[in-house]
C-alpha cells in the first residue's frame, strides 16, 4: 500500500512538473493570448506617444515631419525658385509643417482609440516573428482606412486656420500657369498631408516597436516586460533548435 501511494505521489509530481514546463520557457512564463495582445497594444501605444513627441518638435530636423511637395517635388521646387517664388514656397512649407503638427496633436484620441479598438486575432503570430515591425505592419493594415477617414477633416481644419491651404492654392495656381508645365499640381492637399502625417506616425511606431523588441529598457510596462521577454527567449530557443 505504501509503495502504491509513493508511486502515485511521484507520478503526480512529474505531471505537475510537466504542466509547469508547458507554462514557461527557462525562467520566463508563457503569457496568455490576452496578455500577448495587451503587450502588443502597449507597445503600439508607446510608439504613438513617441510620434506625438516628435511632432511636438517639428524643427528637430526629422525630414518626415517637414512638409514636402507632392509629385516630382525636386522639379516643382526648382521651377518655382527659377521664377522667383522662393518666398512663397518657404511660406507654404512652414505653414503646412505647422498644420501637420497641429493636426496630429488634435488627433491624439483618434490614434490612441484606434489601438484600443484593434482586434488582434493572432497575437502569438505577430509577437513571435523575426519581423521587428510586425505589430506596426498589422496596425497599419487594419486601421489605416479608419484613421484616414477620421484624420482628414482635422487636417483640413488646421490647414485652413493657419492659412496653409490658401498659401498652397496661390502657389499651385501660379505653377499651373507656367508655360510648358505638362503636369499640373493639385490645388487641394488635404489627402496628401493627412497620408503623409499618418505615415510619419507609423514610422515612429515601427521604430519604437523595434526598440521594445530588442532592448529591455524600452519595455516600460510590466506586461511588455513579460510579453517581450518571453518573445525574446522563445525566438532564441527556436533559432537554437
pLDDT mean over 125-139: 95
Contact 97, 58 (CB under 8 A): yes
The domains of the chain are located at 36-240
For the residues 119-130, what does the mean pLDDT come to? 90
In percent, the amount of the chain with pLDDT more than 70 equals 86
In the DSSP assignment, the letter for residue 171 is H
Q: What percent of the chain has pLDDT over 90?
A: 46
**Whether the Cβ atoms of residue 24 and residue 32 lie closer than 8 Å to each other:** no
Mean pLDDT for all residues in the chain:
85
171 CB contacts (<8 Å, ≥6 apart)? Answer: 80, 85, 88, 89, 92
What is the pLDDT at residue 60?
A: 67
Q: Which whole number is the average pLDDT over 99-128?
A: 90
Residue 69 has pLDDT above 90, yes or no: no
Q: What is the pTM of this model?
A: 0.82
Please give the DSSP secondary-structure letter assigned to residue 188: -
Residue where the block lists cell 508547458 = 22
Arithmetic mean of pLDDT, 86-110: 89
pLDDT of residue 61: 66
The widest CA-to-CA distance across the chain, in whole angstroms, is 105
Lowest-confidence region among 26-30, 70-74, 170-174, 209-213: 26-30
Given a cut of 50, whether residue 225 has pLDDT beyond it is yes
Query: For residue range 229-241, what is the model confidence (pLDDT) as tens digits?
Result: 999 999 999 888 5
Query: Which residue stretches of the chain are H helix?
Result: 2-23, 33-55, 73-82, 86-106, 108-117, 123-127, 134-161, 164-176, 190-214, 222-240
Q: What is the end-to-end Cα distance of the chain in Å, rounded?
A: 44
Q: Check whether 16 has a pLDDT greater than 90.
A: no
User: For 35-55, what is the mean pLDDT?
Assistant: 94
Among 217, 230, 215, which Cα is nearest to 39's? Answer: 230
**Scanning the structure block, which residue is given the C-alpha cell 523588441?**
213
Cα angle 156, 157, 163 (rounded to 5 degrees) comes to 90
Per-residue confidence (pLDDT) for residue 153, from 0 to 100 = 93
Amino acid at each position: 500500500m505504501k509503495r502504491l501511494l509513493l508511486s502515485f505521489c511521484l507520478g503526480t509530481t512529474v505531471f505537475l512538473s510537466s504542466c509547469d514546463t508547458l507554462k514557461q520557457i527557462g525562467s520566463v512564463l508563457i503569457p496568455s493570448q490576452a496578455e500577448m495582445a495587451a503587450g502588443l497594444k502597449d507597445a503600439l501605444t508607446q510608439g504613438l506617444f513617441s510620434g506625438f513627441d516628435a511632432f511636438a518638435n517639428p524643427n528637430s530636423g526629422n525630414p518626415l515631419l517637414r512638409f514636402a511637395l507632392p509629385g516630382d517635388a525636386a522639379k516643382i521646387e526648382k521651377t518655382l525658385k527659377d521664377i522667383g517664388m522662393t518666398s512663397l514656397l518657404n511660406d507654404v512649407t512652414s505653414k503646412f509643417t505647422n498644420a501637420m503638427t497641429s493636426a496630429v496633436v488634435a488627433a491624439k484620441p483618434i490614434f490612441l482609440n484606434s489601438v484600443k479598438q484593434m482586434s488582434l486575432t493572432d497575437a502569438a503570430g505577430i509577437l513571435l516573428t523575426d519581423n521587428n515591425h510586425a505589430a506596426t505592419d498589422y496596425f497599419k493594415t487594419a486601421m489605416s482606412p479608419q484613421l484616414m477617414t477620421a484624420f482628414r477633416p482635422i487636417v483640413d481644419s488646421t490647414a485652413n486656420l493657419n492659412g496653409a491651404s490658401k498659401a498652397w492654392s496661390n502657389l499651385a495656381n501660379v505653377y499651373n500657369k507656367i508655360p510648358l508645365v505638362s503636369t499640373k499640381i493639385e490645388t487641394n492637399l488635404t489627402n496628401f498631408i493627412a497620408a503623409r502625417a499618418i505615415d510619419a506616425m507609423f514610422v515612429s511606431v515601427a521604430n519604437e516597436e523595434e526598440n521594445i523588441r530588442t532592448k529591455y529598457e524600452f519595455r516600460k510596462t510590466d506586461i511588455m516586460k513579460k510579453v517581450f521577454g518571453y518573445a525574446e527567449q522563445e525566438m532564441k530557443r527556436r533559432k537554437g533548435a
